[in-house]
Amino acid sequence: MSLKGSLESFHISSILQLLCSESKTGVVQIKNGPYEIKIIFNQGNIIYAQEMGKKDRFSQTLVNNGIISSDQLKECLSKAQEKKLPLGNYLVEKGYISRETLVRFVSIQVEQILYEPFLWKKGTFEYKSAGFNFDGMVAVNLNVMKIILEGSRRIDEMPILRKLIPSDQLIFKASAKGGQGTLSLNSNEWRILSLNDGVRTVREVIQMSGYDEFAVYRLLNSLNASGLIAKLEKESFEKKEDVNDRTDDYAGIIAMYNDILHVIRKNLEPLLGEKTFVFLEECKPATSTMQTKILNNFDPRKSASQNIKNIIECMQAFTQFQEGNQFLISTFNEFCLNLLNKLEGVLDKKMTKNLVIEIKNVLIDANKYQMGGSQNKKRVIKDIHRTLGTAKK
């Protein structure tokens, strides 16, 4: 059986209900701009869901709940990649979590992913029947009707939550007026409170938190009602940003990474010669269709201006600059991290040290790059420094 169409004409709840009632086994793929979700069915039951184009929820959920620390996560991600194991299976193997805990957190992750398309106003879907090999897979068994009921409740409640937050470009900051007396907040509330620093937009808070959009909107409303955060009124955030007005900022980000990757290519060519390009291509991450599209349009042998032109054409898919900005940075950071980790077996210690020094020199000269204001530039540079530190470990 094959089924496809648009979410405007066939709502996600109808798709899930149909596949459940018909006891289907296969994959339904749902797309909305750069975001893509795959839902796996086995005999009408949802056993897994995967999303591309967003920050990994699973690892962030483990950190948010105190299961592992951020430093442990970085180490485990690197080791799991070396052993070619999924992160969850590696954590069980090393005794960080039990198999039962893994299944519980995977279930939480899958539910969060499933609720996302209920709030999408547009998109496409395609279902294809398929069989699966479940060896090594952390499969869950979710009640489809429960997902539909909760998703429908979110649809009804979201317009109320958006009265306070009509735009995801609004900025909140911890309020000095709130929090008199002893604060009694749960871990989720503390997490969201800490991310509202007067600089991050609501969209950036959602991306960094690892929580779904509905959960963040609800927590922001709760914190605001308690007087713990306040909306900044210095400038109007109601106006939607036109990605075409921010091409210069995208260009600055691409130019910086172009220079960093030029440094890496220059250090590789004396050792690998013509194989350098193949080496670079093998390190390009491809966790989402949009990520693949962006990096397919990046060729380290071409000029910065050509790469900028090719990638900016892809960025038209993002309707919000901050969203595209974060996606672009995380994509190139992952590319650089893959390269630096793989270079351990190619470059000796002295050459690796010289390479890192050259990359840092690019960052020192960062004033020549325009990338959405000084705060954004500082954040990009900080992210690259963190990538260098992760690679060293």
Q: Give the DSSP per-residue string, 78-134.
A: HHHHHHT--HHHHHHHTTSS-HHHHHHHHHHHHHHHHHGGGG-SS-EEEEEE-----
The number of domains in the chain is 3
Least confident of 56-70, 79-93, 363-377: 363-377
Same domain for 10 and 146?
A: yes
Of 159, 183, 210, the domain-final residue: 159
- Read off the pLDDT of residues 107-123 as tens digits, 9 standing for 90 and up: 888 898 999 999 888 88
Does one domain contain both 123 and 187? Answer: no
Please check the confidence at residue 87 and state whether its pLDDT lies above 50. Answer: yes
CA 360, CA 364: separation in Å to the nearest integer? 6
Q: CA–CA separation, 343 vs 305, rounded Å?
A: 27
Query: Which pTM value belongs to this model?
Result: 0.59
**Whether residue 273 is found in the same domain as residue 143:** no
Instruction: Round to whole Å and give the CA distance between 175 and 95.
Output: 41
In this structure, is residue 237 part of a structural domain? no
Residue 270 lies in a domain: yes
Confidence of residue 236 (pLDDT cuts 50, 70, 90): very low
* Residue 76: predicted pLDDT: 85
Phi, psi of 360 (to 5 degrees): -65, -30
Instruction: Let me know if residue 302 belongs to a domain.
Output: yes
Q: Report the Cα 308 to chain-centroid distance in Å.
A: 22
Outline where 116-201 has alpha helix (H): 144-161, 187-195
Amino acid at 163: K
* Residue for token pair 């951020």: 70
Residue 298 lies in a domain: yes
Q: Is-contact 48 37, C-beta < 8 A?
A: no
When pLDDT is averaged across residues 298-314 and rounded to a whole number, the result is: 84
- Residue 55, pLDDT above cutoff 70: no
Residue 164 has pLDDT above 70, yes or no: yes
Residues 18 and 144 in one domain: yes
Cα separation of 305 and 276, whole Å? 21
Q: Is 238 domain-assigned?
A: no
Q: How confident is the model at residue 25 (pLDDT cuts 50, 70, 90)?
A: very high
User: How much is the average pLDDT of 44-64?
Assistant: 78
Of 159, 187, 207, the one marking the end of a domain is 159
Which of 174, 203, 231 is the C-terminal boundary of a domain?
Answer: 231
Non-local CB neighbours of 104 within 8 Å, separated by 6+ positions: none
Terminal Cα-to-Cα distance of the chain (whole angstroms)? 48
Same domain, 252 and 385: yes
Residue 336 maps to a domain: yes
Based on the fold, state whether residues 374 and 320 are members of the same structural domain.
yes
H/E stretch holding 21 reads: helix 12-21
Is 75 among the domain residues?
yes
Return the pLDDT at 152.
Answer: 92
Distance between CA 172 and CA 228 in Å, rounded?
10
Residue 237 predicted with pLDDT over 50 = no
Query: Which residue did the predictor score with more confidence, 349 or 167?
Result: 167
Mean pLDDT score of the chain:
81
Instruction: Mark whether 154 and 10 lie in a shared domain.
Output: yes
**pLDDT score recorded for residue 13:** 92
Q: Determine contact, residues 229/156, Cβ cutoff 8 Å.
A: no
Q: Are residues 12 and 148 in the same domain?
A: yes
Mark whether 113 and 262 lie in a shared domain.
Answer: no
Residues 225 and 140 in one domain: no
Q: Environment class of residue 351 by beta-carbon count within 10 Å: exposed (0-12), middle (13-18) or buried (19+)?
A: middle
Range with top average pLDDT, 132-141, 178-187, 304-313, 355-364: 304-313
Range of the domain at 367: 243-392
**pLDDT at residue 367, rounded to an integer:** 59
Alpha carbons 125 and 6: distance in angstroms, whole number: 6
In a shared domain, residues 221 and 270: no
The pLDDT value recorded for residue 329 is 84
Domain assignment present for 194: yes
Most confident of 14-18, 130-134, 141-145, 366-370: 14-18
DSSP class of residue 142? Answer: B
Claim to verify: residue 256 and residue 278 sit in the same structural domain: yes
Q: pLDDT tens, 194-215?
A: 889 888 889 888 877 878 889 9
* Residue of higher predicted confidence among 43 and 134: 43
Whether the predicted pLDDT of 377 surpasses 70: no
Q: For residue 238, name the pLDDT band (cuts at 50, 70, 90).
A: very low
pLDDT band, very low/low/confident/very high, at 242 (cuts 50, 70, 90) = very low
